[in-house]
Amino acid sequence: MSETEPSVPVESERDDETAENAEQAVVAVDAFDEREGLANRLDAHTGDGVRHRAFTCLLFDEDGRILLAQRAERKRLWDTYWDGTVASHPVEGQSQKEATRERLEEELGITADQYGDLEVTDRFEYKRRYLDQGLEWEVCAVLQATLHDTSFDRDPEEVGGAMWVDYEDLYENPRYYRQLRLCPWFEIAMRRDFEDDADPVPDGERE
């Protein structure tokens, strides 16, 4: 008889994340990313949703490859999809850069001394539903940086896998990467980046 611990059902882990979300708040914003108050995180991602502030960070190595991260199975929305390096929501009083640095260290063990040029390169509004589980309605800031030390140590509770991919090839030849299901906000950020639509000042136009 095996003495290993039984695996925890994915549904149970998702229930845990749902409970966590119900205890947290996100910053509600207008189409121009101006604060309108706080919203319960679970409420913001269910029903008709609440537009809120978010970010996604794209980290590169010195050869132009992007570090993609797979969302863990326990995630309620877009579980197992591949994202840019990290994505999340700043809390009240936290800047996008502060939130990004925090999530990079929490999810991938990447610290600020491994990069030095973290900048907000774009900001856009989008709204997407995921199956019958909920939705994202965000004004999403995009931050980018280049790693001079590419080592990382992912947290499997948050990141199911990670890989380096040629960024330009990913955009120009999506058929080569069709086995990767990409998160919608990352696809929007990548397209805007390559089509020169990126602008860190939000224009209130939804993708």
Residues serving a catalytic function are: 138
45 is annotated as contributing to ligand binding: yes
Distance CA 126, CA 136 (A): 8
89 assigned to a ligand binding site: yes
Q: Locate 54 and state its tokens.
A: 């978010």
- 23 labelled ligand-binding: no
Please check if 34 is assigned to a binding site: no
Alpha helices per DSSP H over the chain: 10-22, 41-44, 96-108, 167-172, 184-194
Q: Annotated binding residue at 138?
A: yes
Q: Work out the burial of residue 171: count CB atoms within 10 Å of its CB; fewer than 13 is exposed, 13-18 middle, 19 or more buried.
A: middle
CA gap 134, 128 in Å, rounded: 9
Binding residue ranges for Mg(2+): 107
Binding residue ranges: 45, 52, 89, 107, 136, 138
Binding residue ranges for Mn(2+): 45, 52, 89, 136, 138
